[in-house]
Amino acid sequence: TVIFGSYLIAHGFFSVYAMCVDTLFLCFCEDLERNDGSAEKPYFMSPELHRILGRQEWSPRKANG
């Protein structure tokens, strides 16, 4: 009974934790879609989150010549 009860509590806790992580990723994707990081449309995410998730700004390379 104790093992089963412990499993239910742990499962409930990790389900809430997983839902929070999914929500953060959805917000991250929505922020990238709606904003471009410029002064007019800055990102709402923190710079730490931007760095942790490995999103780098891709700037088009200028053609030589």
- For every one of its 65 residues, what pLDDT tens digit does the chain have, with 9 covering 90 and above? 999 999 999 999 999 999 999 998 898 888 888 888 788 888 888 888 778 777 665 544 444 54
Question: What one-character-per-residue DSSP string does 14-38 give?
Answer: HHHHHHHHHHHHHHHHHHHHH--SS
Stated pTM of the model: 0.60
pLDDT score of 28? 85
pLDDT score of 59? 46
In angstroms, the CA 31 to CA 29 distance is: 5
Query: Can you read off the two tokens belonging to residue 46?
Result: 């923190």
pLDDT score of 3? 96
